Structure 1
Amino acid sequence: MKKWMLLIALVIPSLSFAKELNRIHAYEDSYILGSYISDLNKQTYIDGGFEDADGLHDVEVKFKFSFAVPLFPVSQSSSIMFAYTQKSLWQLGNSDISSPFRETNYKPQFFLMHQSNMLIFNNAEIGYMHESNGQTASLSRSWDRIYGALERIDGPVQYGVRAWYVFADEENNADITDYLGNYDVWASVGNDIGTLSTRFHYNFETDKGGAELGYTLNVNKFVGLYVQAWKGYGETLIDYNHDQTRIGLGIKLMPPN
């Protein structure tokens, strides 16, 4: 835990809060929430041999941090980038089972980012991403994807679409695209008061997916009071095939509108 807190402390003060070709910047959302989950997936932990599965609480901390680093420029409008995103579910306060991190997803990416005026988009990415939860045996989850993304990342209205091809996955989650599909879509609308944001994925063939809705009330130009709701499959890798609802309240690092 201490090494991740040190990493956050070192990286966040130097972040730019918009995607840039030549600076370390925030990539996906970064936040920390106290949350309640409607249907914690205890059976997966029981099947995986986690002895304290029955002691897991439906109130836990959810946090996520994400940043990108330019590796080398390709042109004035393109750079090779590295990004890292981590999402964790922490049973903070559950002292009966030593307050474990019940799930952490690690997602490194290497990609080409290009920025120019492309009609309704101004940012494009193509690259590789790996995501796994660092577990073993039946609790292990991972997948590897080649992806492409188109985004509009400035102004009061921002949006993007990302599509991927899965070329390697864990035996334990071989059917992951049945629940997470082959794409996701995000959008946000903001002003000086706050920002409404959403992200979703959906598989039309299986009629399964998941959606996140959030609202951030600006406190200052760097952070906001953040409320988030989740419904569906795939909030984390351990729950990729488990339908659940979560509501959370906390703080979020805020990019400018």
Structure 2
Amino acid sequence: MKKFFLIFSLFSLCLADDLSKALEYEKKGDYKRAMQIYKKLALQNQTPILTQTPNSTEILAKQNETKSTQTPKNQKRQKDNFSQIALANYLGDENSFNPLGISSYKMNYFLPFSHTNHDLSGSKNEVKFQISLKKRLFENLLGLDEKYYLGYTQTSLWQLYRHSSPFRENSYQPEFFVDFPIHFDGYDYFNNLRLGFLHESNGKDDDHEQSRSWNRLYASTTFLYKRFLIVPRIWYRINEDGGEDDNPAMEHYMGNFDVNLGYLGDDFFLNAMLRNNLNFSRNKGAVQVDIGYDIFDNGIYYYVQYFNGYGDSLIDYNKRLERISTGFLISY
């Protein structure tokens, strides 16, 4: 009897050792070796131990899922859809789980190295970052499948490399806009019409004549043809009373329209923003070029931004500046 218990104990230890090895292989994602051990245990002894581990169908499914997600073909298919993902974000058609209904709006980036050609508040080098979100409020009030949104964008210029590291400028842009879907047979690249109200301010008072603010009504749309994205926008400034207008020449420097021209590749994007006042005798405008590359295939892009012209920020809207910045952009 003692001999029987000794043999049974040794056999149980072997089973436990094999089971621990199988579980270890499974944790590492080596489902093939794990399956071999489970099969061995099943043939040796039909015990409830096997029922405590994933069944063969589940393991094979995981194995096939792991293989499929590692194939270049699947990766390429996901990347090919990036242009559609970008358009879905613009139109508010994201299908991902989002209980709060808050999603990205404009570009979200952090640029720790931003250099200008002018000394601004004691330094040519600073940090630039932008946070932009939107929230859908309701939809289809007019029976046109339209969607109503609140949006918020904040762009900050942070003099991190100076003593006490002050924020040189913050631009606050709350807005309300409505998206109207538009569908024409044979013109799938024309998708929507957006109408909105935008307030932009730096939040400063008039004590040092640094207050900047203006209100606009705007209309924009988007054209997506294969991988090429075009987003034109025009606006009308709501005039303030003559004695209370902080920046009466804002339209002269910022114009009444801008247009974004983009190309969305597999793992990179190019975008150019053009803005002009169309006054050929006193012409003012700006161009911004954005280049991003998805280094790790996770939606975080290495990002370079180049700006030349007027309106780099509200505080400097009437100064011609050249700026180059680099850092990271989040695409989701």
User: Structure 2 length as normaliser, TM-score?
Assistant: 0.64
What is the letter of the counterpart of residue 153 of structure 2?
T
Deviation at 1:204, TM superposition (A): 1.5
Deviations 1:111-160 (A, max 9, x none): 11123435342132101110000011100000001111111368521111
2:288 to 212, 221, 226: 212
Residue 238 of structure 2 is matched in structure 1 by 167
Residue 106 of structure 2 is matched in structure 1 by 28
1:66–1:84 CA contact under 8 A, matched in 2? yes
What is the letter of the counterpart of residue 167 of structure 2?
F
1:106–1:133 CA contact under 8 A, matched in 2? yes
1:39 to 113, 118, 123: 118
1:133 to 176, 187, 202: 202
Alpha-carbon distance between aligned partners in 2 of 1:155 and 1:88, rounded to the nearest angstrom: 34
2:125–2:161 CA contact under 8 A, matched in 1? no
2:162 to 94, 101, 114: 94
Which of the pair is proportionally richer in helix?
Answer: 2
SS in 2 for 1:39: strand
Residue 169 of structure 2 is matched in structure 1 by 103
Q: Percent identity?
A: 33
Alpha-carbon distance between aligned partners in 2 of 1:107 and 1:197, rounded to the nearest angstrom: 21
Are 2:227 and 1:151 aligned?
no
Counterparts in 2 of 1:154 and 1:252: CA distance versus 1, 3 Å: farther
Alpha-carbon distance between aligned partners in 2 of 1:112 and 1:21, rounded to the nearest angstrom: 14
SS in 1 for 2:249: coil
2:131 to 62, 65, 68: 65
Deviation at 1:253, TM superposition (A): 1.2
SS in 1 for 2:183: strand
SS in 2 for 1:172: coil
Deviations 1:87-106 (A, max 9, x none): 000001212xx111100000
5+ residue gaps, structure 2, are 1-84, 95-100
What is the letter of the counterpart of residue 129 of structure 1?
L
Relative contact order (C-alpha < 8 Å, sep 6+): which is higher?
1
1:21–1:78 CA contact under 8 A, matched in 2? no
Query: RMSD of the alignment, in Å?
Result: 1.9
Counterparts in 2 of 1:123 and 1:232: CA distance versus 1, 3 Å: same
Counterparts in 2 of 1:21 and 1:144: CA distance versus 1, 3 Å: farther
Greater Rg, structure 1 or structure 2?
2
1:178–1:208 CA contact under 8 A, matched in 2? yes
Deviation at 1:188, TM superposition (A): 0.9
Alpha-carbon distance between aligned partners in 2 of 1:76 and 1:70, rounded to the nearest angstrom: 16
Are 2:227 and 1:177 aligned?
no
What is the letter of the counterpart of residue 250 of structure 1?
G
SS in 1 for 2:203: coil
Alpha-carbon distance between aligned partners in 1 of 2:215 and 2:225, rounded to the nearest angstrom: 29
User: Structure 1 length as normaliser, TM-score?
Assistant: 0.82
Alpha-carbon distance between aligned partners in 2 of 1:121 and 1:104, rounded to the nearest angstrom: 34
What is the letter of the counterpart of residue 255 of structure 2?
G
Counterparts in 2 of 1:134 and 1:153: CA distance versus 1, 3 Å: farther
Residue 15 of structure 2 is matched in structure 1 by none
1:21–1:70 CA contact under 8 A, matched in 2? no
Residue 222 of structure 1 is matched in structure 2 by 299
